[in-house]
Structure 1
C-alpha cells in the first residue's frame, strides 16, 4: 500500500503497545535540593544532581536497565522474575554507597558558597522497589514502561515515612522468600498507604541511618602549601562579599576583568578543588587550580595554585573577602612562592604590581556591574 510521504513520519511516531512482561521496578530518589531561589543555584544544583546520578548509574552495572532519568530520581527496570531480597539489598547498597561517596567528594572539593552547593551535605537517598507486570510502549525509537504497577511504584515515593533515607519494598515482593527467611542488619517495619484509584498498598521499610555511617571516608586532600609574611594588597569594594568572591571564583569568566588575560580553557565546565584551568595571557600561559575555600558568615578565604612554565614559577594566590555590610566588603589578595627557588627581585616586583592591578580591576568590574543586567547570586531578601 502506498503511503504519502507527508504521513510516513506521523505513522512512525504513533505509540505501539508491546507485550506485557514481569519486571522489578527500582527507583532511587534524591532529596535535599528544594530551596533554590536564583538561577545560579539552579544551575549548580543541576550539575550536582548530574554528578550524583552518574555515580549511581555506574554502580548499577548491567543488572538493571536505566529506563528514564526523572529529575532527581532514576527509574531502573529489571525484566524477569523477582530478585531475592539479598540481591535487592546488594544493588541498593551499591547505589547508596556510590551516591554518598560522590556526595562526600563534592562536599570536600566544592569552592562555591551558594545554597545548592552548601546543601550537598544534607542530601539523602531513598529507594522504592516493586515487582509486577509492566507494559512497554514504543514511540518512534523510544521505549517507555507503563501500567498500574509503574504507577504504584511512583506513588510510593510520596508516603508517610518520617525520614528521607530508607529502603521501601512492597509487601508482595518482600514476602517472596517468606519460606526462606533472609537475615540482614536492617530493622524492617510494616506499613501501608492509601492512594486514590489504587487503594491500599502494603510495604516494608527500613531506615538507612546506620548504612550512611558506614560509607567509606575519602582520603585527605593534598592541598598544603608554605605560608610566609608576604603582605596582602587590600581594597574596599562596594559589593556584597559573597558576590565579589563569586566573580573571583568564576575562573572561566576572569577574561572579562583580569588584566592581560585573553581566554580560559578547561576540561570540564566546573570549578572545584583540583580542577584544571589553562589561562592564556598576552605573553605566557598559566595553569590554575583551586586549593581550598573556607566560609563563614563574615568572611570567605580562597586559595589557588598557579604554575607558569615559561617563567619557571609555582605560586599560590590567596584571596580574602571580609564582609563590611550587605553592600560592601574588604578585599585582600597576595601571592606566595610555592617553588623551590627564590623569585628574582624584578619578577617579584612585577608580581606585586599585578596583584595591585588585579584588585583595582576587580573593584572597577564590581562597580561596573552595579545597575547592569548583572544579577548577584547570593543577595537575598
Structure 2
C-alpha cells in the first residue's frame, strides 16, 4: 500500500494563552489563526480534525515532494505570522488576549506511513500506529516552539537531506523515545524575520483639524477596560443601539481597525468600518465611520474613554460629519443636528443602562 502523508500544524503557547487571558477573545484569536492555517493549505491536504489548538491533515496514499512539502511549510508560516502582525497593528482592544496574541508560535510535524481508516458518525478518519506516532512527535526535545519537523521516515521517502538548508530552513537531526522505541526526525527552527509576510490594509488613524460637530459625555460605573469591550463587541450592540433594526457582523472575529459591520435602520443599510484617532495618553478610543448615511456624505463617531478608578470611567462621544452641499449644511444646522444629538444621547443612556443591569445581574 502506498504511503500517506500526515501533517499537523500546532499553535504553540495555546494552553497558557487561554488560561491566562480573557476567554472570549482568546477563543476568537485562536479560531482566526486556525482558519488562516486551513486557508493556507495549498496542496489539497484533507482536514481530518480540528484538535483544539491544532489541525490534523492527511493526504491519502500520497506524499508531497520535497519541494512541495517545504513550500507548504513556508506558506503556512507566512500566513500565520502575517495574521499575527495584522492582529497587532490593527488592535483596538487592550485585553490581555489581544495584547499578547503576537507571542503565539507555530510548530508543524510531518510524517508518513500506511494508513487505516475508521468511520465515526459518518466521518472517515485516519487511524492506527502512524497517526499515534505523528501526534507523539509533537512531544519532542526540540528546544523551540517554532519549528518544522519531518520524521526520518518521511525525509527518507522524499529524499530530504538531513542537513538541508535554505534561506528559511536549516535542518538538523534529532530523536526521541516513544513506547520504548527510538524515533528519528529532522527539524528546522523557523525565524519569522526571514519570512516575506503578506501585506494587509492598515487601519485608518484620522486627524481632524477642527472641533467635533457634537460632543456628549457620561460617567459610567465600570472600568475603562470593560467599557471598551462593551462598545467594540458587536454582540452587545442590540442592547443599546437605539433605533437599529438589525446588526450584521463577523461573530468569530475580534473587532480591530478595518473591521466592518452593517446597521439596518428603517430598512436602510449603513456600512460602518472601525477607525481611530489620536487621543491623550491613558485614554482608550474606538471609532467608526460610514459613507452611506442620508443627508451627510461621511459620518464619524468616536468613543473616547477616560478610566477614573477600577470601577468607573468617563465616556466622551465625539461626532463629526462632512457634507459638500450648502443646502445640506443648512438643513443639518436647522434640523438634523438635534436628531443626531437625541439619538446619541439615547444610545449612551442605553449603554449605561445595559451595563448597570448586566452588572447587577452578575454580582
Say how many residue pairs are matched. Answer: 352
Does residue 253 of the first structure (1) align with residue 232 of the second (2)?
Answer: no
Alpha-carbon distance between aligned partners in 2 of 1:123 and 1:191, rounded to the nearest angstrom: 24
Confirm or deny: 8 A CA contact 2:115 2:130 kept in the other structure.
yes
Alpha-carbon distance between aligned partners in 1 of 2:151 and 2:82, rounded to the nearest angstrom: 27
Shift in Å at residue 329 of structure 1?
Answer: 1.0
1:304 — aligned with what?
A: 288
Alpha-carbon distance between aligned partners in 2 of 1:32 and 1:295, rounded to the nearest angstrom: 33
Which secondary structure does the structure 1 equivalent of 2:24 belong to?
Answer: helix
Confirm or deny: 8 A CA contact 1:101 1:216 kept in the other structure.
yes
Identify the range of structure 1 (360-369 vs 119-128) with the bigger mean alpha-carbon deviation: 360-369
2:30 — aligned with what?
A: 49
Confirm or deny: 8 A CA contact 1:226 1:338 kept in the other structure.
no
2:219 paired residue among 199, 220, 236: 236
1:281-314 deviations in whole A, cap 9, x for unaligned?
A: 4696643321138899943111111445333352
2:191 — aligned with what?
A: 209
* TM-score, normalised relative to structure 2: 0.83
Does residue 133 of the first structure (1) align with residue 117 of the second (2)?
Answer: no
1:154-196 deviations in whole A, cap 9, x for unaligned?
A: 011122222211011122332442789855232222222223x
2:170 — aligned with what?
A: 187
Identify the range of structure 1 (49-58 vs 321-330) with the bigger mean alpha-carbon deviation: 49-58
Return closer, same or farther for 1:308/1:219 CA change in 2, 3 Å cut-off: closer
Alpha-carbon distance between aligned partners in 1 of 2:192 and 2:80, rounded to the nearest angstrom: 15
Return closer, same or farther for 1:332/1:78 CA change in 2, 3 Å cut-off: same
1:36 paired residue among 18, 22, 30: 18
Confirm or deny: 8 A CA contact 2:204 2:276 kept in the other structure.
no
1:371 paired residue among 347, 360, 363: 360
Alpha-carbon distance between aligned partners in 2 of 1:181 and 1:84, rounded to the nearest angstrom: 17
Alpha-carbon distance between aligned partners in 1 of 2:23 and 2:354, rounded to the nearest angstrom: 25
1:5-54 deviations in whole A, cap 9, x for unaligned?
A: xxxxxxxxxxxxxxx6521211111123333359x933333333333223
Alpha-carbon distance between aligned partners in 1 of 2:57 and 2:109, rounded to the nearest angstrom: 10
Alpha-carbon distance between aligned partners in 1 of 2:192 and 2:268, rounded to the nearest angstrom: 52
1:308-357 deviations in whole A, cap 9, x for unaligned?
A: 53333521111111111111112211101244347431223442344444
Does residue 263 of the first structure (1) align with residue 245 of the second (2)?
Answer: yes
1:53-97 deviations in whole A, cap 9, x for unaligned?
A: 232222223442222221221111123354443222111111221
1:314 paired residue among 298, 301, 305: 298
Confirm or deny: 8 A CA contact 1:225 1:338 kept in the other structure.
no
Structure 1 or 2, whichever has the larger Rg, is 1
Shift in Å at residue 126 of structure 1?
Answer: 0.8
1:118 — aligned with what?
A: 99
Confirm or deny: 8 A CA contact 1:299 1:322 kept in the other structure.
yes
1:101 — aligned with what?
A: 82
Alpha-carbon distance between aligned partners in 2 of 1:368 and 1:139, rounded to the nearest angstrom: 45
Alpha-carbon distance between aligned partners in 2 of 1:201 and 1:295, rounded to the nearest angstrom: 56
Alpha-carbon distance between aligned partners in 1 of 2:249 and 2:227, rounded to the nearest angstrom: 25
* TM-score, normalised relative to structure 1: 0.80
CA RMSD of aligned residues (A): 3.2
1:78 — aligned with what?
A: 59
Shift in Å at residue 200 of structure 1?
Answer: 1.7
